[in-house]
A and B are shown apart, each in its own frame.
Chain A
């Protein structure tokens, strides 16, 4: 069957996000927004040099990001490679912070389906609560929607109880029409969350991309009644940018979506900027990066 794309107007999308980008978030709104953003962070480390020691440090940071600011909540999850899931899981025991793992030949996804399934099963067996998979962009761009969906469905099965976040890698899809289409494919195939990027591509969770995916989530929810979450990842590294993403959620999906059960922000350097900006709202002074631990 040939592919039928829905219509998304690029100019209209960009005008809408530009307008929402002018929302003024000050005083108490800024404080609450920053706390909310912290609670949604999937604190991430995805480097070849990751070690159990580094992951344990990151977990401690995620559970209690700012020991001297008690009102700052824990992050939502710690996101690591499959080989470090067991370490993270042990470090997070009893904290309420979830263990998330990338899988499926992250970030390119250019391995066989069998390898992707095995990767996923390993991560789940090691105790991952959440799996971040990547779609096969080569299949999507070649027009093979069926293969994209079959892979997602198979991996969803392999996840068992674990939540599945499906990364579209929007920078490689080429247009908003494609991003909306890929969002729908992923949701129909069983995604619990749809996610913008691996963080390894040329761009990530731009406001326009986020808006198009949030609108797809809303329309899919209207049609099926199923709630699918959204994860913005890639390029959201400042408080200002994080708050702009929350504005998009608030004004597209509504206040009931402003919870870490439904919205995540994947990031490594964002957390410390959130803490710095929060401290600034308290003290009126800009802090220094050294005020908070790196990990």
Chain B
């Protein structure tokens, strides 16, 4: 071969780079976690949890029933006065321990999160697990400063809290809920999602390792019926729920007239607004991160993309080309950008809404990529020619599907962004500082990102307006839902 041929014949692609899984030790079966120990559920019911990328079962998971809910509440109730009476710094000490143990077991937790939920390892490794540890660190620091966080002279915990978390960020959402609840002196009963219980159960192991007093944290895996029982059970002082708006409504109706406080973090159809004076290449990155992060299974996903008409074609061309570079496939591969859809049920919901989008006349483009034979997959999809009345512009798809709408002026952008029954998050892309603040103030959304998207930090409050729920998590604002002001 001549030098010239040698030089021009080199093709270069990334070789498969699967994360090792041999360091992960999962049990075949996990029970419910009450009184600081794992045990069989009263009805001895177990269900498999699947790897959505292969449809293979990973482990058998207990399905908690009504008797288990009662047992957990009794245990949490018994533990609560002692937990609250601990010196504040001692509660902090336990939270610091949990945070450090999450860091120590980060690699294992990342692999399990990816196996159980289908999200790319790059995300579980670089986002979910580090942020979960960061939340425990953050609230550990608040444990002896509670009254400064809520501007009160004296505060007290609420008591026993029930916490129901979704399947999109299983460990991270558990951390968002448990860390402030425990820092404030409450005891907690955590109900992980049906399709992703594993990391919550590993977190229960971590609570054991941290020698957290018995009953301070209980974990009740199960399904929607388990959650519904927990919500309706007597003896719960507060419910914190993250999940769909439909279930949120049901919970609020069930708790009406009862002395149980409630916070809800529900769905969204968040507007990501690109102005003509934005740094367009970085905006495109933000659009991609806003909607394809975690396969779009993000309540605050930037699923309604609003682009100023003067740059509409340019941004769509850049976005479409960028989408073509997304690497879809094995979530355990370190170079995968988009992993598996979390469940067959969710895949069906995405397919239904995408079909509705096509039926209503929007223009669909889906990137060409080889999808694995088994498992649940949906390739990143872009809809243009979307009218604000289309279902895909109104309803939450919760998948890797972005709907593009255009606007002409700043006022129109604000009007369109706010024209939604949701109000969880929004993104603003502009190089003009004054405009960014003006628009942010006019948006009815709990979180507004400027020149970035899907950026999370334990110090920042997160929560919604309107049908996206109420209550805030993160930062000092995240203490308030777990405290009552005594005087």
Show the binding face of A for B, using Cβ within 8 Å.
6-9, 11-13, 15-16, 22-30, 32-33, 35-36, 39, 63, 71, 73-74, 76, 95-97, 215, 222, 246, 250-251, 254-255, 258-261
Contacts and interface: CB of A to CB of B under 8 A. Distances in A.
Contacts of B280: 7
A23 B335 contact: yes
A71 B277 CA distance: 49
Contacts of B334: 22-24
B126 A7 contact: no
A190 B6 CA distance: 30
Interface string B265-298: 0000000000001111111011000000000000
B25 interface: no
Given A22-B334, A29-B14, A251-B325, A8 B281 contact: yes
A216 to B, nearest CB: 9
B281 A255 contact: no
A247 B439 CA distance: 36
Contacts of A25: 14-15, 17
Interface of B: 2-4, 6-8, 10-15, 17, 122, 126, 277-283, 285-286, 317, 325, 334-335, 431, 451-452
B282 A13 contact: yes
A7 B277 contact: yes
A16 B287 CA distance: 12
B122 A39 contact: no
8 contacts: A12-B282, A12-B286, A22-B122, A24-B335, A25-B14, A29-B15, A96-B2, A96-B7
Given A12-B282, A12-B285, A12-B286, A24 B14 contact: yes
Contact of B282 (A16, A97, A255): A16
B281 A215 contact: yes
A74 B452 contact: no
A26 B3 contact: no
A106 B283 CA distance: 37
Contact of B3 (A16, A73, A261): A73
A7 B452 contact: no
A29 B12 contact: yes
Contacts of B285: 12, 15-16
A250 B15 CA distance: 14
Nearest to A249: B12
Contacts of A9: 279, 282, 431, 451
A162 to B, nearest CB: 19
Contacts of B283: 12
Given A8-B282, A24-B17, A96 B11 contact: no
A246 to B, nearest CB: 7
A25 B17 CA distance: 8
Given A12-B452, A39-B6, A73-B7, A7 B431 contact: yes
A95 B2 CA distance: 9
A6 B451 CA distance: 15
Contacts of A16: 282, 285
Given A7-B431, A22-B126, A25-B14, 20 more contacts: A7-B278, A8-B279, A8-B282, A9-B431, A9-B451, A12-B281, A16-B282, A28-B15, A29-B12, A29-B14, A32-B10, A39-B10, A73-B3, A73-B7, A74-B3, A96-B3, A96-B4, A96-B7, A246-B12, A255-B11
B7 A74 contact: yes
Nearest to B277: A7
Contacts of A215: 281
A26 B17 contact: yes
A95 B4 CA distance: 9
A11 B3 contact: no
A61 B343 CA distance: 57
A96 B4 CA distance: 7
A28 B2 CA distance: 22
B325 A259 contact: no
Contacts of B281: 8, 12, 215
A261 B12 CA distance: 15
A30 B13 CA distance: 9
A95 B3 CA distance: 8
Nearest to B278: A7
Contacts of A255: 11-13
Contacts of A97: 3
B352 to A, nearest CB: 32
B15 A26 contact: yes
From A8, A9, A35, A36, name the one whose CB has the most chain B CB atoms within 10 angstroms: A9
A29 B11 CA distance: 9
Contacts of B7: 39, 73-74, 76, 96, 259-260
From A7, A16, A33, A222, name the one whose CB has the most chain B CB atoms within 10 angstroms: A7
B109 to A, nearest CB: 18
A73 B17 CA distance: 26
A23 B14 contact: yes
- In the A-B complex, list the 9 residue pairs whose CB atoms are closest, starting with the nearest: A12-B282, A24-B17, A9-B279, A29-B15, A7-B279, A24-B334, A9-B282, A73-B6, A39-B7
Nearest to B282: A12
A22 B317 CA distance: 26
A84 to B, nearest CB: 22
A78 to B, nearest CB: 14
B12 A250 contact: yes
